[in-house]
Amino acid sequence: MIHNRSIMLCFLLAIVSPAICEASIRIESVTAGLDGYVRAERWAPVVFELQNSGSDFQGTLELLKGETIFRKTLDLAGESRKRVEMI
């Protein structure tokens, strides 16, 4: 079993970029796995709770696992919250 905290830190480091910081998007929480359980070397959903306190934002959310990059487009209206799930 992989610990959630180490996974969350890796995911947070993977998605923080200057573009997100300028748009005033804050990561409220990151949850990996099913009910917090993740098996090593298996797929796992990752759920992000995001809050935008700035203007409208359009961009891409990226997760890195080794040399593999998982991408999801993100549209987040100004002054809103969004739950984003990546598998």
Query: Which residues, including other chains, have CB under 8 Å from residue 55's CB and lie 6 or more apart?
Result: 23, 24, 78
Query: Which residues, including other chains, have CB under 8 Å from residue 29's CB and lie 6 or more apart?
Result: 47, 48, 49
Mean pLDDT within 55-60 = 88
The Cα–Cα gap between 50 and 56 comes to 13
Place of tokens 């748009």: 23
Give pLDDT tens digits for 2-34. Answer: 444 444 444 444 444 444 445 688 889 888 887
Q: Is the pLDDT of residue 40 over 60?
A: yes
**Which is higher by pLDDT, 31 or 81?**
81
Mean pLDDT within 55-80 = 88
Residue-wise DSSP of 7-66: HHHHHHHHH--HHHHHTTEEEEEEEESBTTB--TTS---EEEEEEE-SS-EEEEEEEEET
**Which is higher by pLDDT, 38 or 3?**
38
Rounded to two decimals, what is the model's pTM?
A: 0.64
| pLDDT for res 16 | 47
Spell out the domain ranges in the chain: 4-86
**Mean pLDDT (the chain, rounded):** 76
Q: Is the pLDDT of residue 81 over 70?
A: yes
